[in-house]
Amino acid sequence: MNAHNILLLGLNYRTAPIEIREKLSAAQHTDEILSQLIRLSGMKEVFFLSTCNRVEILFVTKNAPEVAVKIVKNFLSDYGKIPLSQLEKFLYVYSHINAVKHLFRVASSLDSMVLGEPQILGQIKDAYRLALKHRTAGPILNRLLHKAFSVAKRIRTETKLAHHAVSVSYAAVEMAKKIFGHLEGKRIMLIGAGEMAELAAQHLLNNGAKSLIVANRTLERAIELAERFHGQAISMEEIKDALKEVDIIISSTGAPHFIIHYEDIKQIMRERRHRPIFFIDIAVPRDIDPKINKLDNAYVYDIDDLQSVVEENRLKRQKEAIKAERIVEEETIKFQRWLETLEVVPTIIALKYKLETIRLKELNKTFNRLKHLSEEDKKAISIMTEAMIKKILHDPITFLKQKENRDKIDFYLDITRQLFNLDNIEEKHEYHKT
């Protein structure tokens, strides 16, 4: 049996239908569930993640993996009131380094429904805060979760996985930036009140757009929306006048015909002195006459155009995912090396090596300054420092050996490695070469 049985058990949008995920959804009960999980037999550390797309339990156990997995499966079956025989076919189990790799992939959104989406990292951080609150994360999971955060950050820094909009609303923002260069000071008009249009308007405002005008068939609804965005409500009859001032128009009405026509914009462009104007037409049937695209500095994108941009961007993200997977592999190997050092013997060896390196370095500096010392003097000083190092190390080494088979040995080893900074990979590498 491995000294550190790291296991991950869960289900997600790929393996389980929403009916099953709903039963295990624990948004309001995560504190209670975490408290129950840590009390399960053999459980040493536990982390519980519940989102709309996945439920995962990452844990370190004293039990043999097959025993521990059976206990956690029974827990989930009881909690979700799902017969175990039915639940099991939706579950996946990862052990040891495969559990580590899976967590890194999830944190980096490589396992998300929308590749590269940022929300999952925030959800993992929230779940980790909960584990800290209930003190269910120990030396292994603390190290593993922090590493997962750094892996996700590295992937966002070194790849373009999170670049390129993959939702229609974000694609609209991306297109607007290409047209105007930046969105600071731009004015938006929202025509209609579709959810997708509202989202696009919110994203534009978040990216620096100055203000919002809302036009709607029902003025009451226009006022409601305008208040939400701190904007101005107008009637549908006032749209033509407003077009002289605004820069970006998002339209999503249920009208059966165009509500903005080519001839109207042709005239308005002269009054605008041909300043660029960008139409985002999310409506079906379309609200904006596509002929407007023929006018200089007038740009019309309908829902199909935006979907094409989204699809193109998805392909770009998939290419970036190849680089991200390589980074996950690299970081998984590094974590595996750290796990291997989290044993008593490697820690003692590293500790001895660290102090011996310091001893020899200081002796060399001293002997270079004290040129008058004979070889006999140098030998005596060297023997004396060797004895000092042995005496200094005696108590900590004895302590670690005595704790080797105790529950908290992970904690003591982790503290030792941190106190003496024993995780310097290059230093260990050099040591193993000698």
End-to-end CA distance of the chain: 31
In this structure, which amino acid lies at residue 1?
A: M
For the chain, state the CA radius of gyration. 31
52 labelled catalytic? yes
**Could you give the C-alpha distances from 321 to 115, 156, 189, 311, in angstroms and in order?**
8, 11, 36, 15
Which two structure tokens, joined as six digits, stand for 166? 């993959």
- Partnered with residue 211 across adjacent β-strands are 187
Cβ neighbours, 10 Å, residue 45 = 22
Which two structure tokens, joined as six digits, stand for 65? 């993996």
Cβ neighbours, 10 Å, residue 242 = 17
Of 40, 52, 179, 348, the active-site residue reads 52
> What does DSSP say about strands 277-281 and 248-251: parallel, antiparallel, or unpaired?
parallel
CA neighbours closer than 13 Å in the CB half-sphere of residue 434: 10
Greatest Cα-to-Cα distance within the chain, rounded to the nearest angstrom: 103
Contact predicate 331/104, CB 8 Å: yes
Cβ neighbours, 10 Å, residue 110 = 20
In this structure, which amino acid lies at residue 263?
A: E
181: left (phi over 0), alpha (psi -120 to 50) or beta: left
SS3 state at 115: coil
CA 280 to chain centre: 30
DSSP annotation of 181: S
Residues composing the chain: 434
Which two structure tokens, joined as six digits, stand for 277? 């104007």
CA 50 to chain centre: 14
Q: Which of 336, 341, 347, 358 is nearest to 399 (CA)?
A: 347
Q: Which of 184, 183, 196, 192 is nearest to 213 (CA)?
A: 192
Any residues with CB less than 8 A from the CB of 63 and at least 6 apart, and which?
A: 5, 41, 42, 71
Any residues with CB less than 8 A from the CB of 392 and at least 6 apart, and which?
A: 355
Residues taking part in catalysis: 52
